[in-house]
Structure 1
Amino acid sequence: MNTVTREAAELAAVQPLQPEQRSRWRGFVLPVAAVLLWWLLSSLDVVNSALLVSPAKVLDTAIDQVASGRLWRALGASLAREATGFAIGTASGLVLGALLGLSALFNRIAGPSFNTFKQISLFAWIPLISVWFGLGDVAKVVFLSLAALVPVVVNTCDGIRTAPAGLLEVARVYGYTRWQTVTQVVLPAALPSIFTGVYLALIYSWLATIGAEYLLVAGRGIGNTLIEGSEHFQMDLVIFGMFVIGLVGWLMNASARTLERRLARWTGRA
């Protein structure tokens, strides 16, 4: 039995990668090629070194930022604002979206105003927010809440309105009450759309965090790290900040997708 097991393991070790495994690794081709091109250009001095610093210098800056704790302080401040704005905007969006989707009267009263509101560019609110709330954390959280609000409202409302007519008919035949129909039929059917709105709110609020810190410059944050680098012409600090922002966004995206798959399996079993 041990010999058979060992031979099977050796055979599996020499087997080629499956298509799914190969496609997973293909995603690293472009980033690796970009880093190699970056290293080559900086080594050959093809581009002004003040504008395109070497990967080694960016790595030194990253080590210094991590070791000194400046990265953790800036990133912690940004994530705290993002989490607060995301929570407020998502909770408000779920309530407003549910009201718009479930109540025809509320939709007639508030729907046109919301449709007008969502057409206003998010960054157009910056002057008004800065006047009302200043340049501190409160103003930034308000800005992030607005960024998270709209996608949650739209997707929640759409998910509720597009509940399959067949399910609603079955609920009617079985004599479900209004509350039973909403909680046991409409909301479960709307969950995929609602989760899409929450997922978009998470991504939009993170992007808005960087914008808010860049435009409302008071306080600490990873956006302020970019400002510091650009003001002192430290391109290594700017590039490092961009890498951090991209990495955090990727981790958020991956976490949300994982949660979505688990939610889909859970609702499927339910």
Structure 2
Amino acid sequence: MTDFILEKHRPTSVFKIKIKRVVQALILPLFFIVLWNIASVQHWLDPKLIPPPLTVLINAIHSVSQINFWQGFIASIARNLSGYLLGASLGVIFGVVLGTSRLANWFLASSFNMLRQVSLFAWLPLISTFLGYDNTAKILFISLSVFYPVALHTLEGVNSISNKYREVAQVYKFPRSYTYRKLILPAASPQIFVGLQMGLIFAWLATIGSEFLLSNYGIGLGNLVIKGREQFNVSLIILGMLSIGIVGVLLNSILTQLEHKFLHWHLIQSGEK
């Protein structure tokens, strides 16, 4: 009976917690907007350089109503997801192979550790030299940004599996595919999701970064900010910055929900749920 009552009231508690987190997240932005508005009213700011919040809002609504904004929005999301899926898939496969194969570890581990020390943006000139400046170059750049954190955390997850479990699989002569599906991937999944979450953050940064550095080619939210700078349109720059931030938060929230869904058992064991 007690369990039923707790289960009945749990959604309400979860909803209250989410509302509390949203309110906490809005405190600083709202304080900044109020301070910004006061500074504008008191003429502490040059309206030509930094327009008041209401002007920015009106210009933002006008920009959002234009088809160019949504074309850039969709373009950024599409290339971000394409690069993320490619880089994350290869990262998980590479990490699992490196963690389970001594031969692969001997051949690839040193090169992997060396290459991941190279700054991410150092790859962009090389990529653009061979692939040009179109969407393919940007997607490859995004994939690289995802690959390293996902591969590294997958490798750590696989290496953290106790040898006792591996020995049990060998003793009972489990098929290799069964060992991967029922032992290695489930046991390493918490670390894999950490890598996927980091990879998602890096992918969005790489998406906007590639659009900044290749701003004369293609469309996207990064190009929107560049356009605002070229036109000295502060409202457009702020709209672009807010759009980039909101999309990043939403993507991270979606992945967190997926993690809670697929790692329900791990969250219960760790006391997080």
**One-letter identity of the residue aligned with 1:263:** F
**Does 2:229 match 1:206?**
no
CA separation of 1:34/1:116 partners in 2, compared to 1, >3 Å: closer, same or farther?
A: same
Aligned to 1:222: 221
Aligned positions of 1:1-270 closer than 5 A: 22=20, 25-172=23-170, 174-217=172-215, 218-265=217-264
**One-letter identity of the residue aligned with 2:235:** D
CA separation of 1:128/1:21 partners in 2, compared to 1, >3 Å: closer, same or farther?
A: closer
CA separation of 1:206/1:18 partners in 2, compared to 1, >3 Å: closer, same or farther?
A: closer
- Cα RMSD (Å): 2.2
**One-letter identity of the residue aligned with 1:51:** L
**One-letter identity of the residue aligned with 1:144:** I
**In 2: Cα distance, 1:156 partner to 1:68 partner:** 42
**One-letter identity of the residue aligned with 2:247:** V
SS for the counterpart of 1:47 is coil
**In 2: Cα distance, 1:268 partner to 1:50 partner:** 51
**In 1: Cα distance, 2:227 partner to 2:18 partner:** 42
SS for the counterpart of 2:65 is helix
**In 1: Cα distance, 2:245 partner to 2:86 partner:** 24
- Partners of 1:230 and 1:238 within 8 A in 2: yes
CA separation of 1:211/1:268 partners in 2, compared to 1, >3 Å: closer, same or farther?
A: closer
**One-letter identity of the residue aligned with 1:161:** N
**One-letter identity of the residue aligned with 1:257:** T
**In 1: Cα distance, 2:206 partner to 2:18 partner:** 34
SS for the counterpart of 1:124 is helix
**One-letter identity of the residue aligned with 1:168:** R
Kindly tell me the number of residue pairs found equivalent between the two proteins. 253
| Gaps in structure 2 of 5+ consecutive residues | 1-14, 269-273
Deviation (angstroms), 1:40: 1.4
**In 1: Cα distance, 2:64 partner to 2:166 partner:** 55
- Partners of 1:86 and 1:148 within 8 A in 2: yes
**In 2: Cα distance, 1:131 partner to 1:23 partner:** 45
- Partners of 1:75 and 1:221 within 8 A in 2: yes
**In 2: Cα distance, 1:27 partner to 1:74 partner:** 27
Deviation (angstroms), 1:267: 6.7
- Partners of 1:130 and 1:216 within 8 A in 2: no
SS for the counterpart of 1:28 is helix
Deviations 1:52-94 (A, max 9, x none): 2211122112211221222211100111111111111111112
- Partners of 2:260 and 2:267 within 8 A in 1: no
- Partners of 1:147 and 1:205 within 8 A in 2: yes
Deviation (angstroms), 1:178: 4.4
Deviations 1:126-156 (A, max 9, x none): 1111111111111111111111111111011
**In 2: Cα distance, 1:207 partner to 1:82 partner:** 9
Deviation (angstroms), 1:206: 0.9
**In 2: Cα distance, 1:47 partner to 1:231 partner:** 21
Aligned to 1:5: none
- Partners of 1:147 and 1:201 within 8 A in 2: yes
**One-letter identity of the residue aligned with 1:159:** G
- Partners of 2:127 and 2:137 within 8 A in 1: yes
CA separation of 1:231/1:63 partners in 2, compared to 1, >3 Å: closer, same or farther?
A: same
SS for the counterpart of 2:109 is helix
Using structure 1 for the length normalisation, give the TM-score. Answer: 0.86
**In 2: Cα distance, 1:48 partner to 1:111 partner:** 56
CA separation of 1:258/1:244 partners in 2, compared to 1, >3 Å: closer, same or farther?
A: same
| Gaps in structure 1 of 5+ consecutive residues | 1-16
